[in-house]
Amino acid sequence: MPAPAATYERIVYKNPSEHHYMKVHLEFQDHGIGLNAAQFKQLLISALKDLFGEVDAALPLDILTYEEKTLSAILRICSSGLVKLWSSMTLLGSYKGKKCAFRVIQVSPFLLALSGNSRELALN
């Protein structure tokens, strides 16, 4: 008995997440410099504006969490702007005359992936 004809449907997802999440840490050459959340965001936007101009300084960038003591934050950026944000953070050299650098710890299209980091895993 011939089998009934089967219908196939192929669904392709090409990167369904529109946002990318980055865990970053700002490191200064001298210690003892603090920034609040607004100043941190202003620093990021001015880095984007220097390298990519006013059009890309207006990219929808959000700071989801910010810790003032460790100067580390979790950022959210739309996927098309990830490369621009990352490259402008790389090329940022100073804040108000003081040398600093951004260390990118983790990047992921899913926020849940940033909750655990196998580098900081403590094995007992």
Partner 1 sequence: MVRFKHRYLLCEVVSDDPRCRLSLEDRVLGGLVRDTIARVHGTFGAAACSIGFAVRYLNAYTGIVLLRCRKEFYRLVWSALPFITYLENKGHHYPCFLNTLHVGGTIRTCQKFLIQYNRRQLLILLQNCTDEGEREAIQKSVARSCLLEEESAGEELSDSGGEEAAEAME
Given the rule CB under 8 A, which residues bind partner 1? 48-56
User: Least distance from C-beta 54 to partner 1, angstroms?
Assistant: 6
Nearer to partner 1, 51 or 78 (CB): 51
User: Least distance from C-beta 41 to partner 1, angstroms?
Assistant: 18
- CA distance to 11, 15, 58, 76, per residue, from 72 (Å): 39, 27, 22, 14
- CA distance to 5, 48, 71, 110, per residue, from 39 (Å): 64, 14, 11, 26
Q: Scan for tokens 């200064």, then name that residue.
A: 28
How far apart CA 76 and CA 107 sit, in angstroms, is 10
Nearer to partner 1, 28 or 52 (CB): 52
Nearer to partner 1, 44 or 74 (CB): 44
User: Least distance from C-beta 93 to partner 1, angstroms?
Assistant: 13
